[in-house]
Structure 1
Amino acid sequence: MTGSTERHPAPASSTSDPASATGTPPTPTADEARAAEQVFGSRVDLAQRYVEHLATSGIERGLLGPREVPRLWERHVLNCAVIGELIPFGVHVADVGSGAGLPGLALAIARPDLRIELIEPLERRVQWLGEVIEDLGLEQVRVHRDRAENVAGSIDVDVVTSRAVSALSTLVPWSMPLLHGSGRMLAIKGRSAADEIAKAEKAIRRAGGVDPRVLTAGQDLLPVPTTVVAIDAAPSRDRSTAARR
């Protein structure tokens, strides 16, 4: 597959209009609505439209399972958007294995100050992402139909995000090269995050990663805060030493 930066086509009327696809967008609970107001602020309507896309065309095209619809706000969109509290203002972000735009599109809505590169190899997902970006007017987002390891030479970012892509030992070699020795990797993980770090110790060192640790985001907003593995990129002068350890 050759890498390319996708231009976002105009949404196709038969699939990109939430009202024309199967599925009913969930209404947020009172707690979810309060959290959404805090996370998305004046852009909460964009978050609602994104949820509509997920619940309709996203389900129709197989990006999410139908059983996820009732949990879209808390488990997916808010769960991802809150990691914005771990990202500095105005930086450049790459989202590896974007799929349904989680966390990349959720971050783009919550944090318009970020420049975001969505990296996704599957054409049908790239097409859907482009349609949603076009509909929501997210001009700071670009989509690359490729694998992370293929675009590392042309993309240099400050933060790399991911969610439900692969085990950490596999994900680290894909993600760290995008940082080019400066920045941080943030991988949304579950309860086994600490165990994954232990198993990936060698892969982290070889990829030039340092100080792997488990962080949480959304502590005061979500019933279950988001668990994140954070790994810093070692400066290039320190990489060879770290790799030999």
Structure 2
Amino acid sequence: MLPLPESLRPSAERLFTDRLELAHRFASMLAEQGPERGLIGPREVERLWERHILNCALMTDAIGPDVKTLADVGSGAGLPGVVIAIARPDLDVTLIETMQRRAIWLEEVDAELGLGLEVVRSRAEDLHGVRSFDVVTARAVAALDKLARWTLPLVADDGALLAMKGGSAAEEVAKADKVLRKLGGVDPRIAQYGAGEVEVPTTVVQVRRRAQATRKGEVRG
């Protein structure tokens, strides 16, 4: 089992509570199978807990207690979707992934850990007008202007898009302003979670979707 650094244990225990063992099992699966299956780079194994598992778990600090449904777009290795499902068992989590080999991995993880996930092999845009969720998450999928076209039509009225970003977050928000507004995205905010707990806090761009916004995925102009 992939060891949890003691310096990170308080944060891990806060985020996963009595499901920390499940997080351990997922981290070990990812460390053992991730590199050979092309899910993570070999050098990522040694920093898997801080830069990936806890980095993703900190997103739950941005998810309100009343949220019921969540979709993770471009879930890939299960980051952040699987991690969120472990930390928040009260959520109905759907993982949306286009690549077959990654969708198979996600199904295997779900079977092994018993998380009750829904894995959908599809492009996000093919689900526009078909599915909607209280919260849609994404990590390292695309720049915010492009990501918004794929994800905001999946967000329910008054729901939110939570996109994990890095140092370019403010620049991406400014560039995406026109697209966000046309898709009903309002009040974009940049928040950081985990300061004082981890070396690199998690940066999340939060965009609320106003009620009665258009659900068309195409933006012209």
TM-score, normalised by the number of residues in structure 1: 0.84
- Following TM superposition, by how much is the alpha carbon of 1:237 offset from its aligned partner in structure 2, in angstroms? 6.1
Is the 8 Å Cα contact of residues 83 and 218 (structure 1) preserved in structure 2? no
Partner of 1:114: 91
Runs of 4+, deviation exceeding 3 Å: none
Note if 1:228 corresponds to 2:200.
no
| Matching residue within 75, 82, 94 for 1:105 | 82
Q: CA RMSD in A?
A: 2.0
Bigger CA drift: 195-204 or 121-130? 195-204
For structure 1, list consecutive stretches of 5 or more residues without a partner in the other structure: 1-24
Note if 1:126 corresponds to 2:103.
yes
Partner of 1:181: 157
Where does 1:1-245 land on structure 2 (aligned, <5 Å)?
26-89=2-65, 90-139=67-116, 141-236=117-212
Describe the shift of the 1:105–1:238 C-alpha distance in structure 2 as closer, same or farther (beyond 3 A): closer
Encode CA deviations 1:187-231: one digit per residue, 9 max, x unaligned. Answer: 000011001001111111121101111011223422221000000
Describe the shift of the 1:145–1:96 C-alpha distance in structure 2 as closer, same or farther (beyond 3 A): same
Q: Distance in 2 between matches of 1:159 and 1:237?
A: 15
Describe the shift of the 1:68–1:238 C-alpha distance in structure 2 as closer, same or farther (beyond 3 A): closer
Structure 2 SS opposite 1:185: strand
Encode CA deviations 1:58-90: one digit per residue, 9 max, x unaligned. Answer: 221101110100111000010001111111225
Task: Return the structure number with greater strand share.
Answer: 2
Is the 8 Å Cα contact of residues 183 and 214 (structure 2) preserved in structure 1? no
Letter in 1 for 2:125: E
Q: Distance in 1 between matches of 2:46 and 2:213?
A: 48
Encode CA deviations 1:169-198: one digit per residue, 9 max, x unaligned. Answer: 100011100114330000000011001001
Q: Distance in 2 between matches of 1:131 and 1:63?
A: 14
Is the 8 Å Cα contact of residues 173 and 207 (structure 1) preserved in structure 2? yes
Is the 8 Å Cα contact of residues 26 and 70 (structure 1) preserved in structure 2? no
Q: Which structure: larger Rg? A: 1
Structure 1 SS opposite 2:157: coil
Aligned length: 218
Q: Percent identity?
A: 50
Structure 1 SS opposite 2:158: coil
Q: Distance in 1 between matches of 2:76 and 2:17?
A: 25
Q: Distance in 2 between matches of 1:57 and 1:199?
A: 37
Q: Distance in 1 between matches of 2:115 and 2:138?
A: 19
TM-score, normalised by the number of residues in structure 2: 0.93
Letter in 2 for 1:151: L
For structure 2, list consecutive stretches of 5 or more residues without a partner in the other structure: none
Encode CA deviations 1:10-55: one digit per residue, 9 max, x unaligned. Answer: xxxxxxxxxxxxxxx6422111222211111111110000001111
Structure 2 SS opposite 1:236: coil
Bigger CA drift: 218-227 or 35-44? 218-227
